[in-house]
């Protein structure tokens, strides 16, 4: 079972698939590996939110997390 939500709503440790990234920072996030179809793991929730993508860690302010659409699997 899967359902769509945003990155900020997940608990630490969840693994999800990215659906969509915000318009403003989308190109940068995608270049950093946070792209639609990519798998991410939430290593820390809060401010900042830390996600793990392809073995690298990215810190995101919660404001951005609210705009990242994800699908939990």
Q: Footprint of other proteins on this chain (CB under 8 A)? A: 24-25, 27-33, 35-39, 41, 43-44, 47-48, 50, 52-64
Provide, rounded to whole angstroms, the least separation between the CB of residue 32 and other proteins. 5
Tokens of 36: 């639609």
In the complex with other proteins, the residue whose CB is nearer, 57 or 73, is: 57
Tokens of 34: 């946070």
Q: Identify the three-state secondary structure at position 52.
A: strand
In the complex with other proteins, the residue whose CB is nearer, 61 or 73, is: 61
Quick one: which of 54, 53, 56, 1 has its CA closest to 68? 53
């Amino acid at each position: 079972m899967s359902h769509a939500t945003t990155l900020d709503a997940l608990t630490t440790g969840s693994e999800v698939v990215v659906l969509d990234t915000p318009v403003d920072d989308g190109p940068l996030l995608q270049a950093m590996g946070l792209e639609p179809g990519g798998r991410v793991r939430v290593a820390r929730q809060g401010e900042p939110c830390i996600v793990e993508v392809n073995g690298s860690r990215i810190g995101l302010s919660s404001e951005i997390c609210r705009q990242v659409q994800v699908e939990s699997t």
